[in-house]
């Protein structure tokens, strides 16, 4: 929709426990363009869609998914709401190596000749580059990937952002897996857009269902319970001395994930923090 119209901004503050439920609710109401940053969703609606806002609020509050203080609506007049939404989304700079940008910022980032450029427009799929957990994993990959690392598994791949970043950082091939249909569709689009169709395979599968193994690198930006439940498969798919990069884990869960990794023969090499989240870099023991 274009032109100067009234619109509303719906703000939802989420946490690790209700993230998936909120995403499912937004999906049911066919909400696709979402800005996700600092543990907050921001969604813009035209005046004609005001009834949808009420339905979303009612659904989230009645199901005890959210507390009323964590959801709010602001109304604006005489603005192009689509343009306003786009203006809120700026390129993301990861260290001095990577820039993640939306398509409408393409010309703006061309001046950065010495950076790795990744084009990705925010959608429902998890992992747009505007959330702390995605940036944590990419930052650790920038620090710890080496020329010896060739093959990567992106477990819970969302938009495919981590696979794209891994290849652009020097990996030769990647396998991206997710069980969500929207994520599979969106990741395929972004992988093609970034010119990596021949280097990244996409499967709608869980880690227990794929045949590939002996990965140099496994990235998993997913919740602690999924990592814990599948740690044996993560171990089996990682080559000796292989690297894993994990996030989607709250600071309050640090001791739990440490125990899971140590119990399953992974040695933790680094832990990074951002807001309420942690990112972990660990290596599989050789023996």
What pLDDT digit, counting tens, does each position of 103-113 carry?
999 999 999 99
pLDDT at 136 over 90: yes
Q: What is the mean pLDDT of residues 221-232?
A: 94
pLDDT at 150 over 60: yes
- Residue 108: what pLDDT? 94
pLDDT at 205 over 50: yes
SS3 30: coil
- Residue 63: what pLDDT? 74
Q: How confident is the model at residue 128 (pLDDT cuts 50, 70, 90)?
A: low
Between the CA of residue 171 and those of 28, 150, 211, what are the distances in Å? Answer: 37, 5, 20
| DSSP 8-state symbol, 96 | T
Closest residue by Cα to residue 285 from 263, 259, 262, 266: 266
- Residue 84: what pLDDT? 67
pLDDT at 124 over 60: no
Q: How confident is the model at residue 20 (pLDDT cuts 50, 70, 90)?
A: confident
Residue spans of alpha helices (H) in the chain: 19-28, 50-62, 81-87, 106-109, 132-144, 161-168, 181-193, 224-229, 231-237, 254-263
Closest residue by Cα to residue 205 from 157, 248, 246: 157
Owner of token pair 């010896």: 148
Closest residue by Cα to residue 66 from 27, 142, 12, 8: 12
- Residue 127: what pLDDT? 52
Structure-model confidence comparison of residues 67 and 128, the more confident one = 67
- Residue 125: what pLDDT? 46
SS3 231: helix
The count of other CB atoms within 10 Å of the CB of residue 70 is 18
75 Cβ partners below 8 Å, 6+ apart?
6, 7, 8, 9
Helix (H) or strand (E) holding 242: strand 238-250
The residues that bridge with 44 in the sheet, in sequence order, are 9
| DSSP 8-state symbol, 24 | H
pTM of the model: 0.78
Cβ 217 vs Cβ 153: under 8 Å? yes
Owner of token pair 């690392």: 149
Q: How confident is the model at residue 16 (pLDDT cuts 50, 70, 90)?
A: confident
Between the CA of residue 24 and those of 44, 120, 135, what are the distances in Å? Answer: 18, 21, 23
- The mean of the pLDDT values for the chain is 89
Cβ 174 vs Cβ 200: under 8 Å? yes
- Residue 126: what pLDDT? 52
Nearest 5°: phi and psi at 116? -85, 125
Helix (H) or strand (E) holding 283: strand 277-284
- Residue 123: what pLDDT? 64
* Structural domains of the chain ordered from first start: 5-87 (3.30.70.240), 131-284 (3.40.50.150)
Cβ 246 vs Cβ 279: under 8 Å? yes
The count of other CB atoms within 10 Å of the CB of residue 160 is 29
Structure-model confidence comparison of residues 202 and 16, the more confident one = 202
């Amino acid at each position: 929709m274009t032109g100067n119209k009234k619109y509303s901004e719906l703000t939802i503050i989420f946490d690790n426990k209700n993230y998936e439920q909120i995403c499912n609710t937004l999906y049911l109401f066919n909400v696709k363009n979402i800005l996700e940053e600092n543990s907050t969703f921001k969604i813009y609606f035209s005046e004609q869609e005001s009834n949808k806002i009420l339905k979303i609020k009612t659904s989230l509050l009645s199901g005890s998914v959210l507390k009323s203080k964590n959801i709010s609506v602001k109304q604006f007049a005489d603005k192009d709401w689509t343009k306003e939404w786009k203006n809120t989304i700026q390129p993301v700079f990861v260290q001095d190596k990577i820039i993640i940008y939306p398509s409408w910022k393409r010309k703006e980032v061309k001046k950065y000749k010495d950076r790795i450029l990744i084009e990705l427009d925010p959608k429902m799929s998890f992992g747009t580059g505007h959330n702390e957990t995605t940036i944590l994993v990419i930052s650790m990959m920038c620090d710890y990937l080496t020329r010896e690392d060739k093959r990567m598994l992106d477990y819970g791949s969302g938009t495919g952002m981590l696979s794209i970043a891994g290849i652009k950082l020097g990996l030769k091939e990647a396998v991206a897996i997710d069980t969500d249909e929207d994520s599979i569709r969106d990741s395929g689009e972004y992988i093609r857009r970034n010119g990596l169709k021949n280097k990244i395979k996409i499967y709608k599968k869980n880690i227990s269902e794929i045949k590939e193994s002996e990965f140099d690198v496994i990235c998993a930006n997913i919740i602690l319970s999924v990592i814990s439940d599948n740690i044996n498969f993560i171990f089996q798919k990682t080559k000796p001395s292989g690297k894993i990069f994990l996030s989607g884990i709250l600071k309050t869960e640090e001791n739990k994930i440490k125990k899971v990794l140590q119990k399953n023969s992974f040695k933790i090499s680094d832990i990074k923090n951002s807001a309420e989240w942690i990112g972990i870099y660990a290596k599989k023991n050789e023996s």
